[in-house]
């Protein structure tokens, strides 16, 4: 039992450290020009995606997401798609298993999990880099 608790604590510390690290990077490249320079120089950017009125169980109004050039970045159609899903009743995904095909950086999968509390969410993508970035964005 102590071994399980220790493993959970190690995972929490890793997640906590990752969140702190990503937050520091976001502060360092906070304005648009700095974020664009970061993308050109280091080939990634961290920015916020506003969820608008679709507050989730944690009452967050935004998701902080990482993007890299080799994955599709969120475009207007993905926000339109999310707005359409958001019109469904809150019970539509509750306690269900949900899969998003072509998850990219994972923002829709994470937003679905945040708002509707499904039993499980699978974000699937043919690009292995997209899956890794989606995992990072969980932090």
Q: Residue 98's pLDDT is what?
A: 93
Q: Residue 120's pLDDT is what?
A: 94
Q: Residue 129's pLDDT is what?
A: 94
Neighbouring residues of 113: CB distance < 8 A, sequence distance ≥ 6: 121
Q: Residue 124's pLDDT is what?
A: 96
* Residue 66, CA distances (Å) to 20, 59, 95, 103 in order: 14, 21, 28, 13
Contact 135, 127 (CB under 8 A): no
Q: What integer best gives the mean pLDDT of the chain?
A: 82
Q: Residue 4's pLDDT is what?
A: 47
* Sites in the chain below the pLDDT cut of 50: 1-2, 4
Q: Residue 1's pLDDT is what?
A: 44
Q: How do residues 49-78 score in pLDDT, each as one tens digit?
A: 888 665 555 567 788 888 898 888 777 778
Contact 70, 81 (CB under 8 A): no
């Amino acid at each position: 039992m102590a071994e399980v608790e220790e493993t959970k604590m190690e995972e929490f510390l890793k997640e906590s450290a990752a969140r702190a690290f990503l937050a520091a990077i976001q502060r360092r490249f906070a304005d648009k020009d700095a974020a664009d320079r970061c993308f050109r120089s280091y080939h990634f950017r961290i920015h916020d995606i506003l969820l608008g009125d679709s507050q989730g169980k944690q009452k967050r109004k935004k998701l902080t997401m990482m993007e890299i050039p080799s994955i599709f970045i969120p475009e207007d159609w993905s926000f339109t798609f999310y707005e359409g899903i958001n019109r469904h009743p809150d019970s539509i995904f509750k306690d269900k298993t949900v899969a998003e095909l072509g998850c990219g950086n994972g923002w829709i999968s994470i937003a679905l999990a945040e708002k509707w509390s499904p039993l499980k969410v699978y974000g699937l993508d043919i690009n292995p880099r997209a899956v890794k970035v989606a995992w990072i964005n969980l932090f």
